[in-house]
Amino acid sequence: MNMTLNSHIDFVTFNIIIDDIVFPDGRTAMGVLGGSGPQTALGMKLWADKVGLVAGVGPDFPPEAKAWLEEIGIDLEGLFYSEELPTLRAWQAMEEDGRRTQVWRVPGSSIGPQLKRSVEILPASYREARGFHFGVHPEEPGSLEFARELRKLGTVVSVETFRVAERTLTDAELRNLVTAAHIFSPNLLEAYSMVGPGEPLDLIHRLADAGAEVIALRQGADGITAHRADTGETWYIPAVEITAVDPVGAGNGFCGGFLAGWVQTGDLRLAGMYGVVAASFIVEQVGLPEPGAHLWEKANARLAELETRVRQIK
C-alpha cells in the first residue's frame, strides 16, 4: 500500500445506498452497504492511505455500515447527516446476463439532496485530493459540470457510466461526456449503447476519437482493456481467477483502484492491475469483504499473480 504523509485526503468518492438485492434465482440479500461509494473507496484504500467518502445519510444509517467504513479506514468527514431525510435505500434486481434494475425504496424527494455533489460541500481537506471518482448518466450533461469544477482544482477526475444510454449519442454529446474527466470507464454494454456495437478495441478507438484521454473498458469476467490516447499505449488485463459470487459493485471497486494506481504511478498497466485486483475483492461475497490486514496481503499476492498474465496490445 502506498503510504503518504500529507494532512489532506488523497482520493475521494461519493454516495451511499443501502441495497436490498434480489438474485436471478430468487435469493435475497437485505441491507447491504452499497451505492458505489463504499465499493469505490475500498478499491482506492487497497492502494492508498487517505481516502474520503462524501454522502448524505439519515438517522436510520445502519451502525454496522458506519463501523465497516471506520474499520477499513475510510475518512468520514465528508458524510453529511440529516434528521429529516432517510438514508437512501433501493432494490437491486439482478439478471442472469449481468443486467441490474434499481428501484428506489425511499421518497423521491430525498434522493437529490442525499446524492448532491458540489465543491462547496467538500470538507477543506478533501478539496486538495489528488483524485476524485463518481458515476454519471450518459444523457445528463448537468452531472458533468461537477467533473469540470473539480478539474479546475488541479485534481485528476475519473467517471464511470452508471447505466446504458437510451440511444446512440450524437458526436457532440459523446465528446461532452468523455472529455469531462481525465479517465472514462464504461462497461461493454454501456459503450455499445453510446457508440454502437464493436470489438473492445473498436469501442476504445471511437471513444478516443471523441476526445477521451484515458479509457478503462470494463469487460466483466473477461477483464479490462486500458488505453491512453496521447501515446496509444493499450493493455489487456484479465480478471483475477476467483469464484465470483456477486457482481454488484465490482465496476466501482475497479474504478477506485484504477484511479489510485494511475495518479500514484502514471503506469497504465499497473493502474489496470490495481483496478482488477480491487474488483476481485468485491465479487467474492455478497456485499463488502471483512476488514483486516489480510486484504492487503491478498491484494499484493493477487497483483503478483496477475502480472504474469497481462499483455500489451500496443
The predicted-structure confidence for 158-171, as pLDDT tens digits, reads as follows 999 988 898 889 99
pLDDT band per the 50, 70, 90 thresholds, residue 240: very high
Q: Residue 70 falls within a domain, yes or no? A: no
Residue 283, in any domain of the structure: yes
Residues 6+ apart with CB under 8 A from 234: 201, 204, 225, 226, 227, 228, 312, 313, 314
Structural domain for 267, as ranges: 42-53+112-312
**Cβ-proximal residues to 174 (8 Å cutoff; 6+ apart), any chain:** 194, 195, 207, 210
Compute the residue count for the chain. 314
Mean pLDDT value across residues 232-237: 98
Tell me the mean pLDDT in the region 145-164. 94
Q: Mean pLDDT over all residues of the chain? A: 93
Number of domains forming the structure of the chain: 1
Check pLDDT > 80 for residue 101.
Answer: yes
Task: Please check whether residue 232 lies inside any domain of the structure.
Answer: yes
* Assigned domain for 23 exists: no
- Whether 180 is in a domain gets the answer yes
**121 falls within a domain:** yes
Rounded distance between C-alpha atoms, residue 136 and residue 242, angstroms: 29
pTM equals 0.94
CATH number at residue 130: 3.40.1190.20
Question: Bridge-partner residues for 91, per DSSP?
Answer: 20, 103
Task: Give domain status of residue 7, yes or no.
Answer: no
What pLDDT digit, counting tens, does each position of 14-33 carry?
999 999 999 999 999 999 99
Is residue 280 a part of any domain in this protein? yes
Look at the alpha carbons of 53, 246, 223, 169 in this order and tell me if their dihedral is positive or negative. negative
Residue 224 has pLDDT above 90, yes or no: yes
Question: What nine digits make up the cell of 310?
Answer: 497481462
Asked if 196 and 168 touch (Cβ cutoff 8 Å), the reply is: yes
**What is the model's pLDDT at position 303?**
97
Q: pLDDT-derived band of residue 7, with 50, 70 and 90 as boundaries?
A: low
